[in-house]
Amino acid sequence: MDATKVFRLENDVLAFRFTATLSDRAGESPRERLVDPAHLELWFRVAGLDVVGLDAADLRSAVDFREVVHRVGSAFATGLTPAVTDLAALNRVAAGGRATLVLDEKGCAAWSLENSSLADALSVIAQDAIRVLGACDTVPVRLCEGPGCAGLFVDGSRGRNRRWCSMNTCGNRIKKARLAAK
C-alpha cells in the first residue's frame, strides 16, 4: 500500500491529519480511508507511531476518537463551545498513553511508544490536538471551505485569510470549478 495514495497527508498538524482520514466528510459521499485495521496501522506507521496487532474493535475506538477530535476542533473553529463529554473524552485519551519523545544525536526526535499500544498512539494524537486547540485562541483553527470537505487546519497565513485545508486538493478543486464556470 502506498500511503501517499491511500491517505491525505499534507496537513502539518498531526491530529488534523488524523481527522482527514475521513475526507469529504460534509459532502454527499464521505470517504472513509481507515477501512480496516491494516490501514490504521499504516497510517500510524507513516505518522511515526509504531502500533501493531490492531483488530476491528481497535479500529472502532480509533475512529470514534477521531470523530471526537473533529467535533471539538469544529466547535472551536466555528466559535462554539465543545460538548463536555467530548472534552472529557479527549482529555481522557490524552492521559491514557505512555509515549515519549526521544532525541537522537542527529537532532531528530521520534516517538517511543512504551507499550506499542493503541492507547499510546491515540494519546500522542490527543495531546497534539490539545496543544493546537488549547492555545487560548492564539492559533486560528479553521474548517476548510472546500465543497463538502470540512477538514480542520491551522491558518498560518499572514492575513489570516486561508480558506482551504490544502491548496493541492481543495484549493485546486475550487480553482478548476471557477475556470469551468467561465
Residue 144 touches Zn ion, criterion: CB under 5 A: yes
Distances (CA, A) of 136 to 76, 87, 124, 140, 141: 10, 15, 20, 10, 11
Determine which residue in the list 34, 113, 149, 152 makes contact with Zn ion, applying CB under 5 A: 149
Residue 154: CB minimum distance to Zn ion, A: 13
Determine which residue in the list 42, 62, 119, 165 makes contact with Zn ion, applying CB under 5 A: 165
Residue 42 touches Zn ion, criterion: CB under 5 A: no
What contacts 130, CB < 8 A, 6 or more positions away? 90, 91, 94
Question: In the chain, which ranges are continuous DSSP H helix?
Answer: 3-6, 14-19, 37-46, 56-77, 84-95, 118-133, 172-181
Question: Which of 50/173 has CB closer to Zn ion?
Answer: 173
Question: What's the gap between Cα 108 and its chain centre?
Answer: 22
Yes or no: say if 71 and 86 are a contact pair by the CB < 8 Å rule. Answer: yes
Question: Which of 141/144 has CB closer to Zn ion?
Answer: 144
Question: Which of 21/123 has CB closer to Zn ion?
Answer: 21
Determine which residue in the list 118, 124, 146, 162 makes contact with Zn ion, applying CB under 5 A: 146
Which residues contact Zn ion by CB under 5 A? 144, 146, 149, 151, 165, 170
